[in-house]
Amino acid sequence: MKRFLAVQHSFSEFFGALEPQWEARDIAFNYVRPVAGQDVSGTPSQFDALWLLGAAWPIADAERCPWVADEIRLLRAFQKARRPVVGLGGGAHVLAAAYGSRVHVEPAHDAYFSTARGLSADDPVARAVDGQRVLVMVNGRADLDAALTPVATDAAGRWIAFRTPVPGYGLLFRPELKPGMLEDMVLEEDREVPGDIGALIETARAEWAALQETTDRVVVALVQALDLMHERRKAPVFHLSVQR
C-alpha cells in the first residue's frame, strides 16, 4: 500500500476532499501536527510522498510558525530521496521558501474565487485547471525564485501554482477545501479569518459540484505528473544473527 505523510498546520485544514481520492486509490496517509506540538519529522524511506497542508498564519510570521525551518529540512530530505512534495496554501509558501523565494506576512488574508489560467500545455496541472473556477486561499505572499516554474495564474495574472525542479508542486488554489472546513476555520480558537468569509462559504456551497469536478481533474493531473501511484518506500532491513 502506498503511504503519504501530511504536515497539518491548523486544526481545520486537513486532506478534506482529497481523502476519498486517496482511499479510492489504496493510498494511506499519516498526519504530523506541529499545530498540536508534534515534532515535524518523518523518514522519506517510510513514505511515498510529502504533503504540506494549509496554515492559519503567514509562514513568514516566525512567532506563530516556529516549525518552518524544521519543515524545510524535512521537505529537502524528501526531495533528496526523490519523493514528491506538494504544498497547499501556506504549505506552498513553505515549499517556495525552501527554494529561496522571499515570503511576506502581508496580506494577512488572500482568499478569493477566480478563473485559473494554465501557462503550459505540457504540464498536467496547468491543463487540469485552465479555465476552471478555483478557490485561492493563503496568508501572506511569496515572490517566486527563478528556480520555480509558474504553471497557473489567476484571472489577474498572479501565480497560483508552480512546479519544482525535483518532482513537486505548490498550489495556492485549494482542491482539498470543503465548505465545512471553511466553517470550521471560523470556529477555530484564536484564528483570524478573512472579513468576507461568509460570502466565500456561500459561494463554495453554491459551486460545490463544479469544485469537486475540478478537484478530480487536479488529482488525476498530480497522479500523472508526480507518478503518485508508484510505491517508493523501502522495506526495513533486519540483520539476524544466529546464536549457537
Please report, for the domain that includes residue 66, its CATH number: 3.40.50.880
Quick one: which of 6, 144, 176 has its CA closest to 83?
6
pLDDT band at 35 (very low <50, low <70, confident <90, very high): confident
Tell me the whole-structure pTM to 2 decimals. 0.94
Worst-scoring range by mean pLDDT, 43-57, 201-215, 230-244?
Answer: 230-244
pLDDT at 41: 81
Q: Is residue 193 part of a domain?
A: yes
Boundaries of domain holding 168: 2-226
Q: 50-92 pLDDT, tens per residue?
A: 999 999 999 999 999 999 999 999 999 999 999 999 999 999 9
Q: Which residue has the cell 498536467?
A: 124
The domain total for the chain is 1
Q: State the pLDDT at residue 237.
A: 45
Q: What percent of the chain has pLDDT over 90?
A: 90
Whether residue 237 is contained in a domain is answered as: no
Q: Is residue 206 part of a domain?
A: yes
In a domain, 181, yes or no: yes
The answer to whether residue 219 sits within a structural domain is yes
Residues 6+ apart with CB under 8 A from 151: 118, 119, 120, 123, 125, 126, 161, 162, 163, 169
